[in-house]
Amino acid sequence: MKLKANTSRIIVALDYADQTAALDMADQLDPGCCRLKVGKELFTREGPRIVEQLIKRDFEVFLDLKYHDIPNTVAKACVAAADLGVWMLNVHASGGKKMMSAAANALSVFGNNKPLLIAVTVLTSMDEQDLTELGIKTSVHDQVLKLAALANESGLDGLVCSAQEALALHQRFPHFSLVTPGIRPKGAALNDQQRIMTPAQAIAAGSNYLVIGRPITAAKEPMQVLAEIQREIEKI
């Protein structure tokens, strides 16, 4: 199922330990049918070359490193990522307004070639007990909205969020791109995700992009699973 360029709403998570495995999976996928996510383990082991190799294969890359540091350091890291040609990158909203604003301002010099800059609110592996252990006394929902408002004030393009918060976020920040991990097709294993939805449920709730890893990458026929998910979300 070949989609027109830049229309795919599916981001396949390349959660691999090395470049060989990641590129083997990428070579089984069609860059017109998905985008790819490179996370901490793969990037730490392989560095910028893995991003460069994926871009050479015509994939748009979401660099998922969740920057969280002092404003100047994060701003420079975001520029370095943009220089690689990534389509999207992210920071932790809990880094604060100064940090997020510095990142957004640093990327503005790229003009129309600027990657999307999105913020992580509350990790999808976390629940209210986890927040309590961190000394945060609000609910997950309220904490997500609080951090989302801060990201909006800082000039970011969107959020990483659970699909269960997507509806409220879409209603309050309709201009935001909402990127949702924790997506599991019906019958798939939950693994380490807590706050999950099916692809159709997430799109209906307002998610713009769906991050899906093992249900696709662990399948015998990854493109077949990808096509099935695409057909499911096209019905929404």
**Catalytic residue ranges:** 66
How far, rounded to the nearest angstrom, does the alpha carbon of residue 155 sit from its chain's CA centroid?
A: 18
CA atoms within 13 A on the CB side of 18: 2
* CB contact set of 190 (below 8 Å; sequence gap of 6+): 184, 196
Q: What is the C-alpha to C-alpha distance for residues 101 and 156, in angstroms, rounded to an integer? A: 8
3-state secondary structure of 26: helix
3-state secondary structure of 151: helix
Q: What are phi and psi of 91, to 5 degrees?
A: -130, 165
Element (DSSP H or E) covering residue 189: none
Q: What is the C-alpha to C-alpha distance for residues 64 and 66, in angstroms, rounded to an integer? A: 6
